Amino acid sequence: MTLSYSPMNQSHPHFFPGRKIDVLWLVEHVARELDAACVTKAIAKCKYGLNVEIRNLYQHIKDYLIEFEPKVVVHPFVYFVKGALATEDVFERWPNAIHVNAAWEQIHYKAHKKIKAPSDEIAKNGVIHHAWGDFYQGYLLEHGVPADKIIVNGHPIYQLYKEPYRSFFSDRATLSRRYGLDHSKRWIFVPENYRWAFAQKKLDFFVSLGGDREELTALVNFSIPSLKSLLMACLEASSRNDVEVIFRPRPAINTSRILEFFMSEIGKDTGNIKFIKAGTVREWILASDQVVSSYSTSLLEASVAGKPAWMFEPIPIPDSLHCEWYEYAPRLKTPEEFMQICNDAASPGDSTPLADWAHRNLLSGPDPLERIAAELSRYCKNTVTGHSVGSLSENLMENEYFNKDSHEMDSFSAMDVDDLSKRWAEHLYRN
């Protein structure tokens, strides 16, 4: 998206009065966040008359910092502010706005707990943190966030698997036509999440945030052979003429890096595996017959959607990666067991305990999307300072913010937002 502004605005950005809006909602990963943002925008407009603008945190920063003056800013994450790429710029530009942390990563394994905690004064005391459940509220309290800066509200993404939201997403026939898949075959959806297989160059950074180097190195050594085993199982399964294997790289891993890994560790022949990063996890889960992953929370989503969900664990998961919910996930230990679930006669598995855990810990209250819209309305009404503008970084125009490699599918335009929000509004309020 390219938004224009005059040379005067570039010369005097500190003093340029941007367009006054109620809420600026910042997105990092489109597939993870954009539907929830657009649903909330539709609800907030239809129910409360709010003006919500949605932009990419990194891609659009050189425009939105000048274009808008929001009362409320919703961030995808706030771990720290000082020195945080883009996040620091946003806080400096609107120091008196109400800042809300949507906190899209909350289910932390042991090695992540210190790295992902709010760590500076502003992150702890200058932000309203959105918690999916009591477990995350306890985590925030443990790390110094005051109770009055936390709202416990449930997981907005998981709510999308329920009506009236669920019927919005593209169905199997649509996905078949769009991506050249055979809708009559058995679809095995594999959302990959072996992030540490690609994290060797970032270990020093994570250690600087409080991570344990030995522990993190062990995660790398676990993830590389595990990912190799998963890809080999997918390759074997894709040789069947009655199965479609749809492999989805995690949001921050470029598809080309997965293919490079495959060719380096396995070979050049990727068989009939369909490597597809487009679309959302939700529509693929809803359209598929089985979902197989590592320790990805996509398995929780699949269970909420009523789909058989399997955790592939060819190597025992180290203690540093452990989360409570893993105990409820059915396991596949070998490529042979992976092949077994490709059979029509195979047991579909029992994801009920996993779904029960998700509902108990992440969806125990009323509709989180409706609640977010209501809370944003309350913040806008109760803000004392209203609109205000602070300073801009002198290097704003020279700095590089948007990484096309790690945000491969995360570019969007204001027109895309308007179109998706309009379709959501029509879907939710057509009667």
Domain end (from 313, 332, 362): 362
**Which residue, 346, 362, 378, sits at the end of a domain?**
362
Q: Which two tokens stand for residue 214?
A: 């030995």
Given 345, 362, 379, the domain boundary residue is 362
Q: Specify the pLDDT at position 8.
A: 32
Residue of higher predicted confidence among 110 and 42: 42
Q: Does residue 379 share a domain with residue 344?
A: no
User: How many other CB atoms are found less than 10 A from the CB of residue 389?
Assistant: 20
What's the number of domains the chain is made of?
2
Query: Do the domain assignments include residue 159?
Result: no
What's the whole-model pTM score?
0.90
Structural domain including 321 reads 173-362
Q: Are residues 91 and 236 located together in one domain of the fold?
A: no
**Amino acid present at 49:** G
For residues 70 and 116, state if they share a domain. yes
CATH number, domain of 101, equals 3.40.50
Verify that 288 and 187 share a domain, yes or no.
yes
User: What was the pLDDT predicted at 38?
Assistant: 99
User: In angstroms, how far is CA 233 from the centroid of its own chain?
Assistant: 26
State the pLDDT confidence band at 2, using cuts at 50, 70 and 90: very low
Range 281-310 average pLDDT: 95
For residues 62-70, average pLDDT: 96
- Same domain, residue pair 289 and 351: yes
Same domain, 184 and 297: yes
- What CA dihedral angle connects 153, 155, 156 and 159, to 10 degrees? -110
* pLDDT, tens digit, 9 for 90 and up, residues 277-291: 999 999 999 999 999
Tens of pLDDT along 358-413? 999 999 899 999 999 999 999 999 876 556 678 888 889 999 999 988 899 999 99
Is 3 a residue whose pLDDT tops 50? no
pLDDT mean across residues, the chain: 90
Residues 351 and 389 in one domain: no
Count the Cβ atoms, other than its own, within 10 Å of residue 185. 16
Task: Judge whether 160 lies within some domain.
Answer: no
Instruction: Specify whether 375 is located in the same domain as 409.
Output: yes
- For residues 21 and 145, membership in a common domain is answered with yes
The enclosing domain of 327 has a CATH number of: 3.40.50.2000
